[in-house]
């Protein structure tokens, strides 16, 4: 669905890149896209049962995410975790100043 991304982000205040630590390489296209279009984003690391646990700084280093981008650990199955991630995105989007 990459061909639809330009239409999907029109009017968006930001994006959440949901990272699976078992397949981090698959995050690079999304990270590159949001960086290139200047859309604020946060990275949410979703740990799955049986997967190796990594901290936010480990993921930041592995994906070469800039220091100003929030990286958080979440559980996408838990409503409060999803809400916290969305609140972090809104907070980050409000902190970003247009260039």
Q: Virtual CA dihedral for 15, 91, 42, 78, nearest 10 degrees?
A: -90
Classify residue 80 by its DSSP letter.
Answer: H
**What per-residue confidence (pLDDT) applies to 14?**
95
Please tell me the predicted confidence (pLDDT) of residue 98.
58
What CA–CA distance (Å, rounded) separates 27 from 19?
A: 6
Task: Please report the domains of the chain, with CATH numbers, ordered by start residue.
Answer: 12-95 (3.40.50.300)
pTM tops 0.85, yes or no: yes
What is the mean pLDDT, run by run of 10 residues, along the chain of 99 residues? 85 94 91 94 87 89 95 93 96 79
């Amino acid at each position: 669905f990459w061909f639809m991304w330009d239409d999907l982000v029109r009017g968006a205040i930001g994006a959440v890149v949901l990272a699976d630590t078992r397949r981090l390489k698959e995050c690079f296209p999304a990270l590159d896209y949001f960086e290139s279009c200047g859309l604020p984003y946060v990275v949410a690391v979703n740990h799955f049962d049986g997967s190796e646990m990594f901290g936010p700084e480990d993921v930041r280093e592995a994906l070469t995410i800039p220091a100003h981008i929030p990286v958080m650990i979440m559980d996408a199955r838990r409503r409060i975790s999803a809400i916290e991630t969305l609140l972090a995105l809104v907070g980050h989007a409000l902190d970003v100043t247009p260039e």
